[in-house]
Structure 1
Amino acid sequence: MMKRWIFLALFALVPCMAGAFSLDQLQTQLRAQPIVRGHFTQQKFLRSLAQPLTSRGDFTLAQGKGLLWKLTSPFEQDLRITPQGIAKRDAQGQWQALPQQMGAGRETGIFLAVLAGDTHGLQENFDISLAGNAQAWTMTMKPSSALLSQIFEAIIIQGGALVQRIELRETQGDRTVLQLQDVQPAAQLNDEEQRAYAQ
């Protein structure tokens, strides 16, 4: 479940590809905003539960460094996703690498393709379609690889200037919805973020 949660977190960072943007223009747009911060509300709709499981928190994406995902409710947990793998911060403030499960290397590669805006890499694993315009768009991603097809039915991303909503539909019928709020570019990392990436 944590793997799918992290997967969803990373897809929140896919930029707007609607309108007349070319791949080169899209990559340029990403490099123009090397640091992005925001808040999130995530709801997990399980077939076995009448009410969704809701969590909230904050995130920071730094180009070339990775993603910091800070869960604040219903409990506190800090995750860091970098080219070296996925780590969790322990009670002493130290980052501990999470064990790599079978197939995790391939999924980490997909994660990094999302972080880098590597649409060619994403198209190796997803069939991507777009509707709308640059101000109000919907991007639907359907797995084309056998591995991801076993997990996901589709990933639907909606937004305007920035991503606003992500819906993850799983093959067994469960659904996760991520709402992003107050997403803003930043000029530099703060001291806490710098320490998190440096450890």
Structure 2
Amino acid sequence: MRLTPALLLASAATCAAPAEPPAESSAESSAESSAEPGWILAKIARPAPARTPFVEVRGSKLLKTPLRLTGEYVRPDADTLVRDVRTPYAETTTLRAGEAVIQRAGQSPRRFSLSRVPELAGLQNGFGALLGGDRTALEAHYRLQADGTRQRWTMTMTPRDAAMAAKLQAIVLYGRGAELRCIETRPVGNVEAQRTLLAGAAQDAAKVQDSAALATLCHGAGAQ
């Protein structure tokens, strides 16, 4: 298994999503207030330790139905990201100190350096920026565009790096208030988007099997 740049960013972003968003003041919670990148980043930023459940849906021309993964993202400390897949198979991916370690029961751990993937050079720096709510640092690697209100918003992240942009069109975050509910990864070309539903959206998706319904659930998190 090879982790894509988008998946690594999703790992970072999902650990910023709280199971229960913190309360806002009456001024901040106004549904009519427009969302903007700085406000969104400040709200979804979370210090370690943090964890959140996820439902990931991957489409492929080789599959009759989309592959559906469930599990949990964990950020035990500021320097570590863990992606724990529980179904339809068990696999744990740990990102730490510029290295990825992939573990499956009964198999030896697989290790590789993230530096071997050229397009990850800027992305590694973006991890701390996203989790820390650092807009300036994040914009060094992505163009950010926010839409919607503070109650329901989307934020589109378009890569600046040419190597990453050749593979990744954009990553779109969908949320409600301080809760990041879905990440949609849009590859370049005629490739179906990959969606990762998080926190409350992952719970809502527990009994939803249809891929179109899951896409609607993902997009609905940011609908006006």
**Is contact 1:130–1:139 with CA below 8 Å preserved after alignment?**
yes
RMSD value, Cα? 3.2
> In 2 relative to 1, CA 34–7 (structure 1 residues): closer, same or farther, beyond 3 Å?
closer
Q: Is contact 2:180-2:199 (8 Å) kept?
A: no
* TM-score calculated relative to the size of structure 2: 0.66
2:172 aligned with 1:170, yes or no? no
Whole-angstrom distance in 1 between the partners of 2:82 and 2:150: 27
Partner amino acid for 1:135? Answer: Q
8 Å contact from structure 2 (residues 171, 185) kept in 1 = yes
1:36 aligns with 2:50: yes
Residues matched between the structures, number:
179
Give yes or no for contact 1:68–1:78 (8 Å, CA) kept in 2: yes
Between stretches 86-95 and 47-56, larger displacement belongs to: 86-95
The match for 1:76 is: 90
Deviation at 1:50, TM superposition (A): 3.9
Displacement after TM superposition at 1:172 (Å): 2.2
Q: How is 1:71-150 mapped onto 2 (pairs within 5 angstroms)?
A: 71-89=85-103, 91=105, 97-100=111-114, 101-103=116-118, 104-150=120-166
Match in the other structure for 1:6: 8
CA distance in structure 2 between the aligned counterparts of 1:3 and 1:47, rounded to whole angstroms: 19
Structure 1 length-normalised TM? 0.73
Structure 1: runs of 5+ lacking an equivalent: 184-199
Change (3 A) 1:95 1:118: farther
Q: Distance in 1 between matches of 2:67 and 2:37?
A: 36
Determine the C-alpha separation between the residues in 2 that align with 1:153 and 1:65: 27
Unmatched runs of 5 consecutive residues or more in structure 2: 22-33, 202-224
- The structure that is strand-richer by fraction is 1
Contact 2:90/2:104 (8 A) holds in 1 = no
Identity percentage over the alignment?
Answer: 19
The separation in 2 between residues aligned to 1:92 and 1:117, in whole angstroms, is 39
SS in 2 for 1:98: strand
Q: For 1:11, what is the secondary structure of its paired residue?
A: helix
Question: Structure 1 pair 148/47, CA: closer, same or farther in 2 (3 Å)?
Answer: same
Match of 1:191?
A: none
Q: CA–CA distance in 1 between the matches of 2:158 and 2:53?
A: 26
Q: What is the deviation of 1:53?
A: 1.3
**Is the 8 Å Cα contact of residues 47 and 173 (structure 1) preserved in structure 2?**
no
1:45 maps onto 2:62 in alignment: no
State how far apart, in whole Å, the 2-side matches of 1:22 and 1:167 are.
20
Deviation at 1:98, TM superposition (A): 2.3
What residue in structure 2 maps to residue 56 of structure 1?
A: 70
CA contact (8 A) 1:63 1:115 kept: no
Q: Does structure 2 conserve the Cα–Cα contact (< 8 Å) formed by 1:88 and 1:97? A: yes
Specify the alignment match of 2:30 in structure 1.
none
Cα distance in structure 1, aligned partners of 2:37 and 2:11: 24
Deviations along 1:93-125, whole A, 9 cap, x unmatched? Answer: 986532442314443333343333332222122
